[in-house]
Amino acid sequence: MFVIARCQKEQDVVFARKAFEQLPEGSSLIIMERNSGTPDYDTYCAEGDIKLPHSTYRRAPQLLSPTGSDTVIMHLSSVDADAGILGRALEKHRASKKPYSLFSYNMFTKARFEFINKELLATASQRESEYLYDTPDANFSHAIWPDKEDFSSYYKDNFERYFAYPQSISLQLTPKCNKRCPKCLYHSPELMGNKKSPTPEADMPIETAEALLKEISGWSTRPVVSPSCESEPYMYRDIERFISSAEGYGIPIHITTNGTLLNEQNIDFMLGRKNLHALVFSVDALSEETYSQMQPPGRLKDIEKKILYAADAKKRLNSTALIYVNCVISERNREEFSHLVERWIPVVDGVSGILSLEYTKDGKLASLPPFFDKGETLPCKTAWDTMYIYADGSSIPCDKHPVMLGNVLEEGILNVWRNERYKKWRESQLSNSHNCHIWSTALAIPISENGRTVTLTPFTYDCRKT
């Protein structure tokens, strides 16, 4: 086995050496460290004064012995894992009998492993690519799920270290929406009778919302707060006061909107706030006909004009916020999605797609797309990094599982986040005892090409300009 370890920090070098010691005899190791002495952050130096460029693959075949060898490239960024994780990944790769396997632990342990045979490595060396994901012979089907044990151990042993505070909070200021999209579980005329919100009519008083912001401001880390939980944020009368209050506390805000209630004034207001993290437009279609089906009564051209205005306003106001176009992908618009990406990626910062799950009229999941069937499943990170809070203060672990775990208005946000009910929910996540169908979508695969980074899971698509 030939091992190339791309290391960002000294702890990555230490991990690489320990992991290498557990590989079979006859293996070879090259350590590549970021060279702090060069202005090019992506330049690496390898042991023995061998220089390697950012595209590792272009030099890797030259370093191999004449007889060749299978290769593992470790991409390490402040890695936090036990050294045995590499050996366990190697066993799964060999059992798969694939020419290429990807193990993406990056979201958790800050490590990615790519196992590549010599023929595929030679092909990769001809490409300007940091990873192999965009090669014809290495695609999503070559991803192998890491062991549940690795993720479970990370979650159980590191809660106070990494998850003591939620990283994002979806806060429902209002349960209202001005649209009735057919497949929306919360506002569809067909499905709204099964709406899960405990306060279907009541808004959260602005004074209450500001009190929550004040509590968050006292934390050592600030989560991104999204006042778009199952609702249209501009249906909330005091939304701009809420955004301004969050700005005063230094709390980043993420706005997802259907755009129908926006105008030039409130777009300028949002993009003029230093704390706006992202402004996401839900579009769902490229053509007026499809848009009218996805988001009746339609009028796509009006939304497109607002997106174009927002893109120009971002430049004019020197905003650092990300502007995104989001699409809920279903059978009605699936054929348009790739064209939607090409339409908007030159204009905005990114385009994302979320797979629409089909529900029956009684609110139950009707069917799953074929690429959900991955055999193994991984614990969903939502229970560890995201908190959902309804307008009455009730907190749930996920909008797909509205199990009430406490009330932040009565107990405080952190007390709910750390209470016994939340703890038991997280423990149930490790075994998937509640049979969540989306539980297996934790693996994210980034594809870097043509000035874009595309990140895929079986459930989502994200294309961002780089």
Rounded to whole angstroms, the Cα distance separating 149 from 379 reads: 10
pLDDT tens-digit profile, the chain (466 residues): 778 888 888 898 899 999 988 887 778 787 877 654 433 334 445 443 334 444 444 445 444 444 456 788 888 888 888 888 888 888 888 888 877 777 776 556 788 888 877 666 666 555 444 444 444 444 444 556 566 666 677 777 778 878 899 999 999 999 898 888 877 767 777 655 444 545 557 899 999 999 999 999 999 999 999 998 888 999 999 999 999 999 999 999 999 999 999 999 999 999 999 999 999 999 999 999 999 988 888 899 999 999 999 999 999 999 999 999 999 887 788 888 889 989 999 999 999 988 776 655 555 555 555 444 444 556 677 888 899 999 999 998 887 777 899 999 999 999 999 999 999 988 887 776 656 655 554 455 555 556 677 666 656 777 888 6
- Phi, psi (deg, nearest 5) at residue 242: -65, -45
Tokens describing residue 448: 């870097």
Task: Kindly report, residue by residue over 153-178, the tens digit of the pLDDT.
Answer: 777 777 887 889 999 999 999 989 88
Q: Which stretches of 217-260 are assigned E, i.e. beta strand?
A: 224-226, 253-257
Rounded to whole angstroms, the Cα distance separating 112 from 279 reads: 30
| Helical ranges in 59-147 per DSSP H | 60-63, 84-96, 106-109, 118-124
Rounded to whole angstroms, the Cα distance separating 441 from 201 reads: 33
Q: How many CB atoms lie within 10 A of CB 75?
A: 23
Tokens describing residue 275: 């704390």
Tokens describing residue 400: 């797909």
Task: Please check whether residue 206 is in contact with residue 243, taking contact to mean a CB–CB distance below 8 angstroms.
Answer: no
C-alpha gyration radius of the chain: 24
pTM for the whole structure: 0.78
Residue 329 CA, chain-centre distance (Å), reads 17
User: Nearest CA to 387 among 373, 372, 407?
Assistant: 407
Residue 213 CA, chain-centre distance (Å), reads 24
